[in-house]
Amino acid sequence: MISPDSTIEKQEESKITEGNDENTVVEKKAYIRIRGSMRTDVGKVREINQDSMLTMQLTMNECSQFTQPLLFIVADGMGGVADGEVASSMAIRNLATKISLELLDRNCSFPLDSAILSRTIEYANNEIYTYSQQEPSRKGMGSTITAALLIGNRLIIGHVGDTRAYIMNNKEIRQITEDHSLIGRLLKMGQLTPEEAKNSPQKNLIYRALGTNPQVEVDIYEEKLEQGDIVLVCCDGLWDYFSNEELHKLVSRSKDFDKTSAKLIDLANERGGKDNITVIIFQLVSIEYN
């Protein structure tokens, strides 16, 4: 498990295929080492931190197979001051609880069902929505969420809202998730330029979040990580202050992710710090096929 602001070094053996071809997604017979860091800050304007983050490692030996799924979550609460904080906390706790139960209840079935994150995020949505309906003052509370589940070199990402996940290597950076925001939609339609979007007073308006409706549509992405690939998961309080190019330059060249996560937050604060700031970074350092 990752502790805040610390380096991760883990080994993992999982399973999706018997092959050891470097072009295949592997959940079995792959010893994997990763490093990473996580950090959060209240920012310069907000009184409390409505962001929540979680990392979890579940190590098992079952059916003669050693598995070690790793879960990384960032959630950004919204609503009243207390309600947003509660919503993001409920998001990460309910997702982590439900996904743990699903992983433990697989009865040795492989490969991992790619719908695991959509089911568990939908469960978290229902818990937050039910809670919000119990008191009139809670209505409208909600949270974004971006969750990354790594098993072997297979990465599954579940996403709702405008928190983001990026994958980068030495050559390029890719934003994997799509913002569920009004500005994000207008950008996709070509009705706004990136510069216009950055300066828009509506840039924080999102049309999809956990807890605001009884059902939620979850975006699911699957990626095969290559040796050296870096995954960055963060809230808008961080990405709003950086271009993709600058993020790539700062993170892809990092020798110490603790220092890098601290620098990212310091720069976001120097550039305004108008929101809470949360970031998780992890890198697939090596893969050894057995």
pLDDT digits (tens, 9 = 90+) for 231-271: 999 999 999 999 999 999 999 999 999 999 999 999 999 99
- Give the model confidence (pLDDT) of 95-144 as tens digits: 999 999 998 887 777 778 889 999 999 999 999 999 999 998 898 899 99
Q: pLDDT > 70: what percent of the chain?
A: 86
CATH superfamily of 30-178+209-289: PPM-type phosphatase domain (3.60.40.10)
Average pLDDT over all residues of the chain = 87
Mean pLDDT of the region 76-105: 91
Say whether the peptide bond before residue 111 is cis (omega within 30 degrees of 0): yes
pLDDT at 22: 54
Q: What residue ranges do the domains of the chain occupy? A: 30-178+209-289
- 14-34 residue pLDDT tens: 334 444 455 567 665 567 789
Long-range CB contacts (< 8 A, 24+ apart) of 93-96? 93/54, 94/123, 94/124, 94/127, 94/128, 95/54, 95/120, 95/121, 95/123, 95/124, 95/145, 95/147, 96/54, 96/56, 96/71
